[in-house]
Every structure is written in C-alpha cells, then in structure tokens.
Amino acid sequence: MAEMLTLSRHILQRARHHREASGDFNLLMSHIATATKVVSRMVAKAGLLNVLGKTGDTNVQGEKVTKLDIIANDMLQAMLDDLPMVSATASEEDVSFVPTSAGATSGRYLIAFDPLDGSSNIDANVSIGTIFSVRRRANVDCNPTEADFLGAGNELVAAGYAVYGSSTMFVYTTGQGVDGFTLDPGVGEFVLSHPNMRLPDTCKCLSVNHANRLRWMGGTRAYVDHVVSRAEPRYSATTGRYIGSLVADFHRNLIYGGIFLYPADSVTPGGKLRLLFEAQPLAMIIEQAGGAASDGVRRILDIQPDGLHARAPLIIGNTVDVRLYEQMVSVHD
Ligand code: P6P
C-alpha cells in the first residue's frame, strides 16, 4: 500500500530541519487544517443545511456576506483561539484583528485569513476556498497591535489555502517549496498527493475578467491583446479560463500553468483584491513554485500594507508573463 503521508507527518518531517522548531507550528497548522475540513463538510452539504444565500449584512469590504462566510470565519477564529502560540488573528470579514484568548500577549504567531474566498459563487456550486498566512511577531509579552500584521509578504513564515472543489485540497509552503494534500473523507486526513508543486512553464491559461476590458489601462489591454493574438509560439495553446473565485483560478493555473490578472483599472485603481488576505499568501506560494506575483510595477511580497484591508492589483503566474505584463505597463500606462 502506498505510504500515507498525512499533513501532520509532513509538517513534523519538515520541522526536523529546523532545530528551533518547538512543535508549535505543527499544532498551529493542524488546527488550521481541521478548520478547513469542517468548512469543507459545511460547503459540501450547504444546500441541505439551509446555509446557502446571504445574511443580509455587508462586510468591511462592502461585500454582501453569505451565511457560509460567517460559519467559516467563526470556525477559523474558534480553532485558533485556544492556541497559546497564536497572539491574534485577522480576517478579511472583520474590521479589526482579534487577540486570542490563549496567547494574546505570549503568542509569537499572527494568522491572517480570507475564510471563504469566492463565496459569492457558493449558490452556484462553484469551487471556493480558504486562504491563510502566518507571520511572527517582532515582540512578545505585550498586546498585539494592528501594526504587527502590516509587514511585507517577504516576512511570512507560511502561507496556504484550501480549495473546496471536486476534491478538497490543502496547499501550503513554509519557504521550502509547495506541497499539496488531498482530503481523504473516509479517514478525515489530508494526504500528500502533489509533492513539490512546480508551476509549469507553459502559459496554458489566461485568467482575467474580460467584461472589465473597457475599464483597463493601456498596459493591460496591450498584454491581453498580445496573448490573444498568439503573437508568440508560447501562446499558441493559451486558453481563456476565469472562474471568478480567486483560489480556484489560482489553483488551476498552478496545476496547468498560466497567468491570473486582477489589474488596476479605472474603477479599482488600487486593485480589488486584498493585499494581506489574498495577494501576499498566494504570492509566497507562487514564488515557491517558481512563478512571480506583481501589482504591475512592484513585487507583491515587497509591498508594505498601509492598513489591514489594503488592496492591490494582482498579476500572478508564469514569471515570463508577469515580467512581460510589467514591461507593457511601463510603456502604455
Ligand atoms: P470579479 C470573489 O468575490 C473575489 O474576491 C475573488 O475570489 C475573485 O477573483 C474576484 O473577486 C472576482 O471579481 O470582479 O471578476 O467578479
């Protein structure tokens, strides 16, 4: 029988390479993974549990809140609240960060998450996901502050996501490459299924909301037209794929190769996607898999957030294509 390398064992094996590892990180990650398993179960049964649809509220992003947004948010916060190594959590759904009960002053880790990305697609049974990142506090034995969360993405110690699709997968990095795990519902464990994930060099998928074309700046139009015109052999087999659920679009491109763009445009000049909760963690993952992530000018991981809910344009995928996009922006924008 093929070895069943579970997520917990994988983290323990990786920890052996870090003398200072105390087991805290493994406990933290296994709690995040457990929360995603519960969310996966809720999402899979949503239509039967009367948890489809919206709550009628609007979140700090100005977006309509779905019932599952709240369930996922509460689940993640509850799973992390009892961990003494976690000082505070921050969610895309909440105005401010939340100190944990067990580790507010003593905990050295901070967790930021988008509890249910793409949730506007839930009622249509489209793949959605949970995105998270882990950073260390510079100081402990003091209360956490919002400023503790506002580091550049190059300071992250881990990043990952769960994608609730035809199967539920958990993909994460601690800076030593990217590994993917598939949930075995019969066992209730995430099992290693995609070791050492690498972004294929082919630009198989062009992932952008073409309905926004009239909002685009010159550089975005020039890049997309260059790809669509098959101006280079590299784009001869490129196809358009846009799910409208960032985690699903990102994961597909990580498997097949490609580029995702949510660029600066005349309606969202600062971008739509959240820097802390979406762009930073996915940028860490894509770089660890051999790709690149930019706001069109700067490396995403070098951008210092000016607030918890800072937004950024996101161009992420094959390095060749991210660089070409940046070149076109420098000429046309
Ligand atoms: P649009 C979902 O609401 C989300 O935040 C991301 O998951 C997704 O990539 C993006 O918005 C889609 O935005 O404007 O194309 O519908």
Which residue minimizes the CA distance to atom 13 of ligand 1? 244
Distance 117 CA to ligand 1 centre (A): 8
Topology of domain 7-194, CATH = Fructose-1,6-Bisphosphatase; Chain A, domain 1 (3.30.540)
Q: Read off the pLDDT of each residue in 197-224 and give the average, rounded to a whole number.
A: 97
Please tell me the predicted confidence (pLDDT) of residue 63: 75
Cα 167 to Cα 191: distance, rounded to the nearest angstrom? 12
Cα 65 to Cα 311: distance, rounded to the nearest angstrom? 19
Distance 120 CA to ligand 1 centre (A): 8
Question: Would you say 232 and 320 are in contact if contact means Cβ atoms under 8 Å apart?
Answer: no
Q: Read off the pLDDT of each residue in 313-321 and give the average, rounded to a whole number.
A: 98
Distance 249 CA to ligand 1 centre (A): 10
Ligand 1 pocket, mutate which of 59, 61, 273, 309 (most atoms under 8 A from CB):
273
Which residue minimizes the CA distance to atom 5 of ligand 1? 118
Asked whether the predicted pLDDT for residue 217 surpasses 70, the reply is yes
Distance 314 CA to ligand 1 centre (A): 11
Asked whether the predicted pLDDT for residue 184 surpasses 90, the reply is yes
Average model confidence (pLDDT) for the chain? 93
Which residue minimizes the CA distance to atom 9 of ligand 1? 246
Query: Which of ligand 1's atoms lies nearest the C-alpha of 249?
Result: 9
Domain boundaries, the chain: 7-194, 205-332
For 186, other C-beta atoms within 10 Å of its C-beta total 6
Ligand 1 pocket, mutate which of 68, 207, 212, 246 (most atoms under 8 A from CB):
246
Q: How confident is the model at residue 1 (pLDDT cuts 50, 70, 90)?
A: low
Distance 250 CA to ligand 1 centre (A): 12
Structure confidence by residue, pLDDT tens digits, 113-143? 999 999 888 889 999 999 999 999 988 989 9
CATH architecture of 205-332: 3-Layer(aba) Sandwich (3.40)
Q: Which residues line ligand 1 (CB under 6 A)?
A: 117-118, 120, 209, 244-246, 262
Structure confidence by residue, pLDDT tens digits, 87-116? 999 999 999 999 999 999 999 999 999 999
Structure confidence by residue, pLDDT tens digits, 272-288? 999 999 999 999 999 99
Contacts of 217 (CB under 8 A, 6+ apart): 263, 264, 265, 266, 329, 332, 333
Distance 68 CA to ligand 1 centre (A): 17
Percent residues over pLDDT 70 in the chain: 97
Ligand 1 pocket, mutate which of 126, 245, 278 (most atoms under 8 A from CB):
245
Distance 23 CA to ligand 1 centre (A): 36
Amino acid at 196: N
